[in-house]
Amino acid sequence: DAKTTQPPSMDCAEGRAANLPCNHSTISGNEYVYWYRQIHSQGPQYIIHGLKNNETNEMASLIITEDRKSSTLILPHATLRDTAVYYCIALDDKIIFGKGTRLHILP
Amino acid sequence: SQTIHQWPATLVQPVGSPLSLECTVEGTSNPNLYWYRQAAGRGLQLLFYSVGIGQISSEVPQNLSASRPQDRQFILSSKKLLLSDSGFYLCAWSPGLAGDETDTQYFGPGTRLTVL
């Protein structure tokens, strides 16, 4: 079973920041938090990962709480092409995908 | 750069027929390889993974099997397809990094299988 919980869907206005929450209260100390997204009919795309510190790359930022029980993926300027299902994963050995959050970008 | 290929992209097969899906990776050596299935409206389910030639671990008991005849080739097979085998099949690879570095997986484009 997935170790993470996410809201099933979210809306975000185009051009605004999309903040996707994830709860992982049972995460262990050596489990990384990974984010993938899956655009309709395509394979999942890696976005970002982190362990304790906040991370940023060209796609997104990842904010992990100090107690590591939750995290937030931030897409700073959402576009229509960011419409996808976003998966938050606590990775120890193997990836276990939950149902993710379906993000709708509103024009 | 590394690339991952899957074929065919789509497949329609009758119940009881055999199946063979192929996945190949380019630009890396000795990758970890994975097969996932995504049923309609559901999340991804890990089916098999392999850390080397001839080494296959099964995550879910079923009528599917996997083989790794070459370092960068991963094959998903079935002798007799069931209706419940319909879904989106994804192959993934990871560098298989040891030590403290975690092992990011990268996915192929997938094969959409419909069993009638």
Mean pLDDT by 10 residues, chain B (116 residues): 92 97 94 88 83 88 91 96 93 76 81 95
Whether residues B108 and A43 touch (CB distance < 8 A) is answered with yes
Taking the CA of residue B22 and the nearest CA in chain A, the distance in Å comes to 15
What's the CA gap between B94 and B110, in Å, rounded? 16
- Grouping H, G, I as helix, E, B as strand and the rest as coil, residue A81 is helix
Percent of chain A with pLDDT strictly greater than 90: 64
**pLDDT value at position A37?**
93
Read off the pLDDT of residues A53-99 as tens digits, 9 standing for 90 and up.
Answer: 899 999 999 999 999 999 999 999 999 999 999 999 887 666 777 78
Rounded to an integer, the average pLDDT of A30-54 is 88
Give the pairing of strands B10-13 and B111-115: parallel
Nearest to B105 among A95, A98, A100 (CB): A95
| β partners of residue A90 | A33
Whether residues A32 and B110 touch (CB distance < 8 A) is answered with no
Exposure string of B84-109, with b = 16+ CB inside 10 Å and e = fewer, is: ebbbbbbbbbbbeeeeeebbbbbbbe
**pLDDT value at position A43?**
83
**pLDDT value at position A99?**
81
Taking the CA of residue B53 and the nearest CA in chain A, the distance in Å comes to 19
- Grouping H, G, I as helix, E, B as strand and the rest as coil, residue A27 is coil
